[in-house]
Amino acid sequence: MAILTIRDALNQALREEIIRDENVFIMGEEVAEYDGAYKVTRGLWKEFGDKRVVDTPITELGFAAVGVGAAMAGLRPVIEFMTFNFSILASDQIINHAAKMRYMSGGQFKVPIVFRGPNGSAYQVSSQHSQALEAFYANFPGLKVVMPSTPADAKGLLKSAIRDDNPVVFLEQERMYGIKGEVSEDPEFLIPLGVADVKREGTDCTIVARSMTVPLAMQAAEQMEKEFGVSVEVVDPRTIKPLDIDTIVKSVKKTNRLVVVEESHAFASVGAEISHQVMEHAFDYLDAPVKRISCAEAPMPYAKNLEELALPDVPKIIAAVKEVCYL
Amino acid sequence: MANTIIMPKLSPTMEEGQISRWLKKEGDAIEANEPIAEVDTDKATMEVTSLEAGTLLKIVIGDGANAKLGETIGVIGAKGEDFSALLNGASTNGVSGKAEEGTGRPGDEQTNESAKGSQEKAASTAGEKEETVAEQGAQKLKENVSEIGGRSYDAQRPEAVDESESKIQNSESTTRLIVSPIAARMASENDINLKSIKGSGPNGRIIKRDIESALAEVSSPRFQVSGQENESASQTISSFEQTPEVQGASRFREENTSKMRQVIAQRLAQSIGPVPTFYLTVEIEMDKAMEFRKQLNASVSEAEKVSVNDIIVKVAAMASLKHPFVNSSYQGKTVRFYEDADVGVAVAIDEGLITPVVRGANRKGIIEISKEIKEMAARAREKKLQPEEYTGATFSISNLGMFGIEQFTAIINPPEAAIFAIGSAAPKAVVRDGEIVVRNVMNVTMSCDHRVIDGATGAKFLQTFKQMLENPILMLM
C-alpha cells in the first residue's frame, strides 16, 4: 500500500494498463508533452512515446471521433477531456456513436473506450466551466458512468473502465486531484463497475454522495454524531450507471431516512433518479420524504461568495439530515 | 413589548404537553408568576406560570390541544398591542421565506430575515444587488440559496397552504391521518392504533419516533396518578354541540383524551380484551323505593303503574349525569361525553335479547319512562323495533331480578362505558344500629369500561345511585 493522491492513483492506473495491454493509448489536449493540464498523464509520454500518448489539436469532436473509430477497430483508447465541459462539443460522438454502435451494428462492433477528465466545479471558473454532467450522460443507454471519490477507487475503477468492452464516461473532479489515500500497488487491483461502497456505517440516516460531495458527507456525518448523537451512514455509489441501487435500498431500509447530496443541478438529476428508485423499492421503510442537496438552479456564478453559496456544503447537509431526522 | 408564551419543560421526560385548560382568557391581566394554564404532561397535570406581567393577548393553542416543547402557546404584552409580527416570526417552522409577500408588513420581513442564518442573509443581500441588473438568474439563485440553507425545496409554495395545514393540525376534527410509511408499518406490526398516537412530525405526521415512544410507554409505564386527574373534564361540562349518528340519540361533546387516559386504556386493553372491564357490586335497601312505588301506583291508573325497574332506570339516568364518565364513551383519542342519559333496557325475547333505548331518561318522568319501556318491550317481542330504537344507548341496565337472580355480572355493550346488572329485591336479615332487622335488599353490579371509568369513579357513581334509591326524595334535588 502506498499513500497517493487521486492524480497519482489515476496516473498509476493508466501506466499499468498501458504496460499490460498494447492496445491501450491516451489521446487528448496537452496529455503528452505538457504532462496533462492537471498532470494526470505526467511522465507517460516520456516513458511510452508518441504511439501511446497522443497530443491533439483543440478539436474535441474530432479526437473523440478518432477514438470511437480506433475502439471499433480493436484498440482501447482513453480520451482525456481537459474538462468535461468541453465534452459537450464531442457529445455527438459520445452519445450518437460510442453509445449506439454496439446496438446498431447488431453486436458486430464493440466500443471499448474511456472518456475521462474533470467534471463539476473547480475554483471560480464560472458558468461554462463548472458543470456536473453525470445525469446528462447517464441518461443514455449504452454508456457507463463512473465517479470515484478516493484515490483507491480512482485507480481500481479506472483500470476496470479501461478493461470494459463498453464506452465508459469516467468523471473526475478538479478539486479532488490532490486528495490523498491508501492505494494498492497490485497491478491487478480492480474495483468492479456497478458496485457501491459504504464509506461510513450508521443507523439513523443515509447520505448518498458521489465524487466531491463524499468528503463533505463524511464531515457532516462526523458532526451529526458529535453534536446530535445521530449515526449517519454514507453510501458512495461510485458507478452512476449501472447504479447499485441494492446497496442504497439496503441502507435506507436500515436507517429509514435518506439525503442525496450532489454537485449537479437538481432537476432530472442522478439524485432525482435515486429518490425515485428508493421510493419504488423502499417506500414502506421511509420515515421522511427523501431530501436532496444539489447545486443552485442558476448558472455557476463567478463571484467567490456566490459560488460557495451555490454549491453543497457541510452546513446544508447537516440541515438536511436534521430535517429528515425531525430534529 | 409583546412576547410569546411557550410550552415549558415541566418534567424531565416531557416532549410535548396538552393544554388541559387555560386559566386566563384573552384580554385578562396577568401577574408575573401567576398560573395561566394547566398542562397535561406525560406524568401529571402541571400549571404553567407567566414569566412576566401583562395582558394575555392571544391564546394560540387552545384547551385540549397539544404543543411541543418551546412551541408558542400564547402571546403576552400590553393591552391593545399589535403582536402579529411576533406570531408570524414564531411560526417560521412551517412558513418559508416567502412569508413577507403574504402579509406585506415591513415588520414581518425583519422577523423573517433575522430568523434565517447569517449565511442566507448574505445571500439575499447579494441577491438584491444583482436584481438591479434585472437578471432572472440572479433572482433564481437568491431563492435557491435560501432554500438550500435547510428550508424545504418548495419556496414557491404560497403561505396560504401553510396556514390551512396548521389549521388542520389544530382542529379536533382531523380526519386524515398523516403517517410516514415506516411508522404505518411499525404500527401495524405492533398492533398499535394510529389514531391513539399523536404525530410529532410536520403537520402532525406520525413518524417512527412516535411509534417507538408509544412502544416504550407501553412496556415501561412511568405515570404518577395525580389526584386532580381529569377533574377538569367533569367540571367544565358546557356545550354538547355534536350530533350523533343515530337519529334522536343524545347529543354529545368530545374532549381530547389525556395522555394518562390513553396509556391507561392501552395497558388495560392489552390485559383484558378490547374492553377492559371490572365489576363493582353494591347492596341497596329498597324499602323506601318500594314504598315510593306503592304510593305512586295508588294514585295513577292501571295503565300508568310503574315497576321497580322503571324507578331504577330513572335513578340511574339522573345519577349518571352527576358522574359524566359513566355516561361517556371511549373513542381512542377522545372521550365522548353525552348530554343526556339514553338508557338501554335489556329485554329478553324468544331469539335472545334486545335493548330498547329510553332517550333522555334523565328528563322524563317515571310514568313516561315506564310507558315507553312497556310499549317498546311489547314491540320488541313482535320484532317491530326500528334500529334507532335499540341502538345508541349511553349505558344499559339488565334486570334479572324477576328470575330470582340475586346477583350477576353483565357484559358491556360497546361503545357504552357501563352496564348495570340488577338482582332481585328480597327481604333479608341485616344489621342496622346493632339490631338484626329485615330489609328488602337488592344487589346491583356495575360493569365498568376501565378505559374511561376508574374504580373510584364507578364507586362514587354507585354511592349516588344507592343514596337516591334508598331515599327517593333525593330525586327531587
CATH of the domain at B210: 4.10.320.10
Please check whether residues B142 and B201 belong to one and the same domain: no
Q: Does B154 touch chain A (CB under 8 A)?
A: no
Q: How many domains does chain B have?
A: 3
- What is the spatial distance between Cα A115 and Cα A167, in angstroms, rounded to a whole number? 8
Between vectors from CA A65 to CA A62 and to CA A66, what angle results, nearest 5°? 90
pLDDT for B315: 94
Residue A188 lies in a domain: no
Please check whether residues B457 and B371 belong to one and the same domain: yes
- What is the spatial distance between Cα B218 and Cα B81, in angstroms, rounded to a whole number? 46
Cβ burial of A144 (10 Å; 0-12, 13-18, 19+) is buried
pLDDT for B126: 45
Per-residue pLDDT 10s for chain A (327 aa) are 899 999 999 999 999 999 999 999 999 999 999 999 999 999 999 999 999 999 999 999 999 999 999 999 999 999 999 999 999 999 999 999 999 999 999 999 999 999 999 999 999 999 999 999 999 999 999 999 999 999 999 999 999 999 999 999 999 999 999 999 999 999 999 999 999 999 999 999 999 999 999 999 999 999 999 999 999 999 999 999 999 999 999 999 999 999 999 999 999 999 999 999 999 999 999 999 999 999 999 999 999 999 999 999 999 999 999 999 999
Please check whether residues A14 and A98 belong to one and the same domain: yes
Q: What is the DSSP-derived secondary structure letter of residue B242?
A: B
Residue B331 lies in a domain: yes
End position of a domain, from candidates A183, A214, A248: A183
Please check whether residues B272 and B208 belong to one and the same domain: no
Please check whether residues A168 and A212 belong to one and the same domain: no
pLDDT for A137: 98
- What is the spatial distance between Cα B91 and Cα B112, in angstroms, rounded to a whole number? 10
Please check whether residues B295 and B429 belong to one and the same domain: yes
Q: CATH number, domain at A312?
A: 3.40.50.920
Please check whether residues B416 and B280 belong to one and the same domain: yes
pLDDT for B198: 87
Please check whether residues B416 and B298 belong to one and the same domain: yes
Please check whether residues A29 and A163 belong to one and the same domain: yes
Neighboring chain A residues of B122 at a CB cutoff of 8 Å: 305, 309
Asked if B128 and B113 count as a contact pair (C-beta separation under 8 A), the reply is no
Closest Cα partner for B259 from B16, B459, B435? B16
Please name the amino acid found at residue A230.
V
Beta-carbon separation of A315 and B182 below 8 A: no
Question: Which of B128, B142, B147, B148 to probe the A interface (max A CBs under 10 A)?
Answer: B148
Residue A189 lies in a domain: no
Residue A190 lies in a domain: no
Q: CATH number, domain at A37?
A: 3.40.50.970
* A16 has catalytic annotation: no
Residue A287 lies in a domain: yes
Please check whether residues A170 and A31 belong to one and the same domain: yes
Beta-carbon separation of A309 and B137 below 8 A: no
Please check whether residues B113 and B33 belong to one and the same domain: yes
DSSP bridge pairs for A118:
A172
ipTM score: 0.76
Please check whether residues A179 and A208 belong to one and the same domain: no
In angstroms, the separation between the Cα of residue A327 and the nearest Cα of chain B is 10
Please check whether residues A170 and A318 belong to one and the same domain: no
Alpha-carbon Rg for chain B, nearest whole angstrom, is: 29
- State which H helix or E strand residue B214 sits in: helix B208-219
Number of H helices, E strands in chain A: 12, 14
Please check whether residues A145 and A201 belong to one and the same domain: no
Please name the amino acid found at residue A222.
E
Q: Which domain holds residue B25?
A: 3-158
Cβ burial of B80 (10 Å; 0-12, 13-18, 19+) is exposed
Q: Which domain holds residue A107?
A: 2-183
- What is the spatial distance between Cα B312 and Cα B305, in angstroms, rounded to a whole number? 14
Backbone angles phi, psi at A25, to 5 degrees: -145, 160
Residue A8 lies in a domain: yes
DSSP A156-196: HHHHHHHH-SS-EEEEE-GGGTT-EEEE---TT----TT--
Residues 6+ apart with CB under 8 A from B384: none
- What strand order describes the sheet that includes B334-338? B252-256, B334-338, B328-330
Please check whether residues A176 and A147 belong to one and the same domain: yes
pLDDT, tens digit (0-9, with 9 covering 90-100), for B254-312: 887 777 677 667 766 766 677 889 999 999 999 999 999 999 899 988 888 999 999 99
Please check whether residues B70 and B217 belong to one and the same domain: no
Q: How many domains does chain A have?
A: 2
- Model-level pTM? 0.51
DSSP bridge pairs for A239:
A146
Residue B300 lies in a domain: yes
What is residue B172's three-state secondary structure?
Answer: coil
Q: How many CA atoms lie within 13 A of B336 on its CB side?
A: 23
Q: Does B138 touch chain A (CB under 8 A)?
A: yes
Residues 6+ apart with CB under 8 A from B123: A306, A309, B142, B145, B146, B149
Residue A192 lies in a domain: no
Given B198, B259, B359, B450, the catalytic residue:
B450
Please check whether residues A152 and A201 belong to one and the same domain: no
Beta-carbon separation of A256 and B137 below 8 A: no
In angstroms, the separation between the Cα of residue A59 and the nearest Cα of chain B is 31
Neighboring chain B residues of A286 at a CB cutoff of 8 Å: 180-182
pLDDT, tens digit (0-9, with 9 covering 90-100), for B391-446: 889 999 999 998 889 999 998 888 899 999 999 999 999 898 889 999 999 999 99
Q: Does B141 touch chain A (CB under 8 A)?
A: yes
* A129 has catalytic annotation: yes
Q: CATH number, domain at B112?
A: 2.40.50.100
Closest Cα partner for B446 from B422, B464, B468, B428? B422
- What is the spatial distance between Cα B450 and Cα B162, in angstroms, rounded to a whole number? 40
- What is the spatial distance between Cα B182 and Cα B170, in angstroms, rounded to a whole number? 24
Q: What is the mean pLDDT of chain B?
A: 77
DSSP B93-109: TT--TTHHHHH--HHHH
Please check whether residues B105 and B218 belong to one and the same domain: no
Q: Does B207 touch chain A (CB under 8 A)?
A: yes
CA distances (Å), B255 to each of A269, B167, B204, B329, in order?
Answer: 49, 18, 18, 11
Per-residue pLDDT 10s for chain B (477 aa) are 788 888 888 776 677 888 888 998 888 888 888 889 988 876 677 888 888 888 899 898 988 888 888 888 998 888 888 888 777 654 444 333 333 333 334 444 444 444 444 444 444 444 444 444 444 444 444 444 444 443 343 434 343 334 444 444 444 444 578 899 999 989 988 888 888 888 888 888 999 999 988 888 766 544 333 333 343 444 444 577 777 777 778 888 888 777 767 766 776 676 667 788 999 999 999 999 999 999 989 998 888 899 999 999 999 999 999 999 999 999 888 899 999 999 999 888 777 778 899 999 999 999 999 999 999 998 888 878 888 888 889 999 999 998 889 999 998 888 899 999 999 999 999 898 889 999 999 999 999 999 999 999 999 999 999 999 999 888 877
End position of a domain, from candidates B158, B184, B219: B158
Please check whether residues B316 and B400 belong to one and the same domain: yes
End position of a domain, from candidates B131, B158, B185: B158
Given A29, A60, A134, A263, the catalytic residue:
A60
Neighboring chain B residues of A326 at a CB cutoff of 8 Å: 200-201, 207, 209
- What is the spatial distance between Cα A189 and Cα A325, in angstroms, rounded to a whole number? 39
Beta-carbon separation of A284 and B153 below 8 A: no
Beta-carbon separation of B141 and A296 below 8 A: yes
In angstroms, the separation between the Cα of residue A269 and the nearest Cα of chain B is 15
Neighboring chain B residues of A292 at a CB cutoff of 8 Å: 153
Please check whether residues A18 and A97 belong to one and the same domain: yes
Residues 6+ apart with CB under 8 A from B59: B22, B25, B26, B73, B74
Residue A191 lies in a domain: no
pLDDT for B42: 67
Please check whether residues A96 and A168 belong to one and the same domain: yes
Closest Cα partner for B354 from B307, B391, B328? B391
Asked if A7 and A175 count as a contact pair (C-beta separation under 8 A), the reply is no
Please check whether residues B256 and B150 belong to one and the same domain: no
- What is the spatial distance between Cα B468 and Cα B220, in angstroms, rounded to a whole number? 42
Please check whether residues A159 and A247 belong to one and the same domain: no
End position of a domain, from candidates B130, B158, B186: B158
Cell numbers given for A161: 473502465
Query: To 10 degrees, what angle do helices B287-298 and B308-322 make?
Result: 120
Please check whether residues B267 and B401 belong to one and the same domain: yes
Beta-carbon separation of B145 and A319 below 8 A: no
DSSP B331-350: -SSEEEEESS--EEE-EEET
Long-range contact pairs involving B191-195 (C-beta distance under 8 Å, separation at least 24): B193/B332, B195/B332, B195/B333
